[in-house]
Each structure stands twice: as structure tokens, then as C-alpha cells.
Structure 1
């Protein structure tokens, strides 16, 4: 049996799936996070382990591997990374995680894919043009990401501490983390990696959906930044103001929260630019891009 493997690497975990050439999934392995700009050795180990475990499960011939990995755009040792994967496959395609999502969600059609998971980025294609906006990492950007939402939540608590007040939102945040004070939280915060910090995002979104004013304000700040990144990417695609642009969403924050998606749509509506929102398909991994990459 001939098959291909797609690997979706991100700040939380790495998902490798083998597909028949028809696109039917046949096996799956999940390992730890993989972001080249955060820890390239850990990224290599988790990606390689996922591939080796998957290959060991299957009979037949793997025709190609397609890997989408965060941080690739700025990574200077791409060929070394490819070689150190050390898997007996004739074709290994490396692309950034946004390009993988773009291929998976748009299936070769023009448009934009917005990823908001641990980090955030917008990737697009229009004809032969390939472009992106955002994706600068949690220290310089990642607007609208899980990390961004979580950092804003912690900053809400630090602001209230300085002002000598504490809101029900901040009390609930400490209770969620089973911590007694802001000082305990800060001690943890500076030790957590960005994936761990981003785990606070579901709490923030749940509070916002329950109409907590501080959580709602945090979400509005986040979606404003993400919407602006989408509009920058739209400009790079050179679409006119009347063109309806396909817009797909990917990443855990966007895929798992209908509240967050609606808030982002409302923010984009203020631009008066038309978008066609591609339906969410949370049960279909971006690893399916391996099938489209092989066929093309």
C-alpha cells in the first residue's frame, strides 16, 4: 500500500497522520510541541519521533512526507533539520505551519487562512502570489493568539493589584490556577513556556461568553489585533475592495470557540470588505495537506 504522511507541528503538540493517496486516514501519532524558533532540538526530536512511530506501525511504502512547522520562515538550518529527521522517505516537504493550514483549508483555491492557536499568523495565496502577515512570535506579535489572550488576562490582574482592587474575573483566574496570590502567579508565569501560558485562553473565552466585562474587553483587544493582521494580508493579496475573499480559520482558539469566531467576524465587518468564511472542519487535521501536496 502506498501512502503519504502529513505532520502538523505547533506550540502545543505535533500530530502526524498517514493517509492513503485517496485521502483516507489510516494511522495517527501525537507527540510534544515543535517550534523551531523556541527550541529547535525539541522540535526535531518530537517531529522525528512522530514520524518514526508512524512508519513503524505501517506496511507499504511512504511516498512523501509533508511537514508544517512553526518558525520555519526565519530558521537558518532547514536542510540540516531535514537531514536529521533520518527517515527513509524519498520526498520530504518542509513548509511553515501557516502554509500547511492554507493547503489543507483552501485546497488550492485563492484566499486567506488565519491561524490562532498558541501563536497566530495569516497566510494567503492569490494566483502565483504567496504572502503572509503576522507570525512574529509571542514577544513581537501573535495578536489574537492563545498566548495573547492569556497574557492580557494576567496583565489585568497585575493592573488591579497596582490599583488596589481585585475583580471577580481576577479572583476566578487565581481559583482556576489554584493559586492564592498574584505573586504566586507571576512566579509561575515567568517559568512557563508560551504553550503553557496559552492554556489560560479557554478560561478567558468562557468568562467572556458569560459576559464578564473584563474578559469581554480582553477578547475585543485580541480580535482587533488579529483582524488588523487579516486586513494587512488581504492588502498583500491585491484583492479589490469589492472582491469576496475566502477566509478559513485554523488553530485551537478559533476552531474551538464559536464566541471568538463571531467576535472576529464582527470586528472584520467594520472594514466593510467582503469575506467568504470557509466552514470550520475541526475533525480534519491540517496534516491532510500532505495529500494535496503529493497530488500537486
Structure 2
């Protein structure tokens, strides 16, 4: 855990900003006018269960981190918390019901914003400008806004969607590896070799994968191997071209109209290089010829910090949405559509 503490840190309230995703938690504590003051994290992803994202498991990891970081930052208390969470749009009912009260009891937080990780990715990448963001890591969701409302596409999880995501690419790569193992058409000997290097004998792969509770992350761990094989292996290259088509399809349905809308790609897949980015740009040019893909200004944690700073300073203007971005008091009251919080 590392942080920066300065002598002029105010004794008043600060903010808590969280990014919860497939690789665990990243947490920032800060104050308006000072920005982030202390950072920490946990490498354990928050569990999901019958009620969706497990609020208790999130709090179990978050509370000790937040308390330690608050002390490290020299803050007297936390007033606002922004939780950006993967899967919130479809699996967030328990978080919306339980988290505001739990954060108030444990940390004294008076205002909680719950945001889909795609929304925090959007805010981190584009700020308050209209456009679209493809948040592509272990999962995949696209969101867009004209600043009056949000639109989303995909984000349905690795069993029903997340098409083009790291888990999708990894699963497709492992399928091609097993096809090669069986001698079926569509197999890839390079992907088979890479799979056995990572996971052991191909015949043992189902036994290694299916019992895991973190299957999406395990599948996604194979995506870089697909990209590394794509230069010389047409099967791997075709998988990435198909992923690019899925990503562009999702961006096209959420991108607002207007002249030269902005599109950003965030998440782990943004670092996969030309094997994915070149076909993605080709597909975006075909579907959204007037759009311009830009480099993100920051990541989802940066987006959570931006939302937290605006809420604490009273300058929050983003549109609220029942599933994608809601601002609540501990009593569970939601913000008005314009974003103002009722206290």
C-alpha cells in the first residue's frame, strides 16, 4: 500500500473512489483540491452469487483498506464514496440495496455513487464529452452518452455475451487449441502448444477450468497468447478479427449522433496491439465513418475519482441511470435524473 500525504491536507471530509473488476479492487482516498492522497488494493475479485455481486464480500475487502488509507491520507472522515463495479448493470441489485447503509455504518459515508465499470471507464476516458467507450478487459461492455442519458450494449457476462472480450478471445483460442488436439477442422497447432504451455496437457484442461470460480479471468488469461500467435497463425488472427467486429458492433449502437463523435477503447485489451487494434479501426471506420477513436485520458479508477471529486465539490452533472449510475444516501434515496442528491 502506498500513498502521498502532504502537510496541507484538510482535516475535513474526503472521498473514496473504488474500481472493482475481474482482477480485484483498486482504491483511492482523496480530497477536493488535493486529488488522490493514498492508494491501495486487493487482488481478490469480488464474488457473485444468487443475489448478484456479493456486497458482503466487497465490504470485507474494502473497509480495512479504506480505513487504513483514510489515516494515511490524514483525513478526518470520508463523505462520499464512488464504487465502480464490473457487472453492476445486471448483477447489482444487492449492492444498490445494501452498500449505502453498510458504508455509512462502517465508514461514515453520507453519499454513495454506484456505477457500472463501463461508466467509470467512460468518465476516465472522455470526461463529460459525448461519445462512446468500449470497456474491454475480462468482460466487455460498450456505453455511450449524449450527456442527457446513457446507452449500453453487451456486458451480459461470459456465458451470455461479453463478445470480443478477453474471456471471449481466450475461450475461442482454447476451443481452437482443442480442435487441433482432436484433429478437427478449425484447429490451431500454435494455440494448442501455447495452451499446453500455460495449462498443461490439453486433455486435462476441462478438469482444470470447470471447477474454478474465476473462470472468466482464467479464460481471459489466454487472450494475450492468442494475440502473440496471430502474426503467424491465421486461426488466431481470425479470432481477433471476429472480436474486433463484436466490439465495433457494440460501439455502433451506443455512439451518439453528431459530427465526429469520440470513441475510446479502455481496459486490458487496449494493450493487445495491432493484431486487435488494426481490425478494430477498420470495423469502426466501416460502421461509424464520422467517428474518431481517441486515446483515453485515464482508466476506470480515474473515472471513479472524477465522479467522487465532482460529487464532493457539488459539480456533478452526469445523467443518472437506474442500472448504470445512481447516487444514493444511506437511506437508499436515489439521485434525481439530473444528478442532484436528495439528503
TM-score for both structures, normalised by structure 2 = 0.76
Distance 2:122 2:297 in 1: 13
1:166 and 1:196, CA in 2 relative to 1: closer, same or farther beyond 3 A? closer
Q: The residue matched to 2:98 in structure 1 has which SS?
A: helix
Partner SS for 1:34: coil
Which sections of structure 1, spanning at least 5 residues, go unmatched? none
Deviation at 1:281, TM superposition (A): 4.4
Q: Distance in 2 between matches of 1:41 and 1:55?
A: 21
1:60-71 superposed matches below 5 A: 60=75, 61-71=77-87
Residue matched to 2:7 = none
User: Residue 50 of structure 1 is aligned with which of 59, 65, 77?
Assistant: 65
Evaluate the alpha carbon distance shift between residue 38 and residue 154 of structure 1 in structure 2; reply closer, same or farther with a 3 A threshold: farther
SS in 1 for 2:284: helix
C-alpha change, 1:247 and 1:84, in structure 2 (3 Å) is: same
Give the 3-state SS of the residue equivalent to 2:289 in structure 1.
coil
Corresponding position: 1:291 with 2:287: no
Aligned mate of 1:80, from 95, 98, 112: 98
User: Matches of 2:166 and 2:277 in 1, distance apart?
Assistant: 13
* Aligned with residue 125 of structure 2, among 105, 128, 134: 105
- The answer on 1:150 being equivalent to 2:162 is no
The aligned counterpart of 2:146 is: 126
Secondary structure of the corresponding residue to residue 127 of structure 1: coil
Structure 2 unaligned residues grouped into runs of 5+: 1-9, 317-343
Q: Over residues 46-82 of structure 1, what are the superposed CA-to-partner deviations in whole Å (9 max), with x where a residue is unaligned? A: 3334323322423224331111112222332312133
Please name the residue that 1:172 is paired with. 194
Give the Cα separation in 1 of the matches to 2:35 and 2:41.
18
1:150 CA drift (Å): 0.7
Larger displacement relative to structure 2 (115-124 or 45-54): 45-54
CA distance in 2, matches of 1:153, 1:252: 17
Distance 2:59 2:149 in 1: 30
Q: Are 2:283 and 1:267 aligned? A: yes
Q: TM-score, normalised by structure 1?
A: 0.87
Q: Could you list the per-position Cα deviations for residues 220-260 of structure 1 after superposition, in whole angstroms to 9, with x for gaps in the alignment?
A: 111111111111212xx3x15xx311112211112x22323
Aligned length: 287
Counterparts of 2:55 and 2:78 in 1: how far apart (Å)? 25
Q: Residue deviations 1:186-236, cap 9 Å, x none?
A: 21121232222211122222222x3322221111111111111111212xx
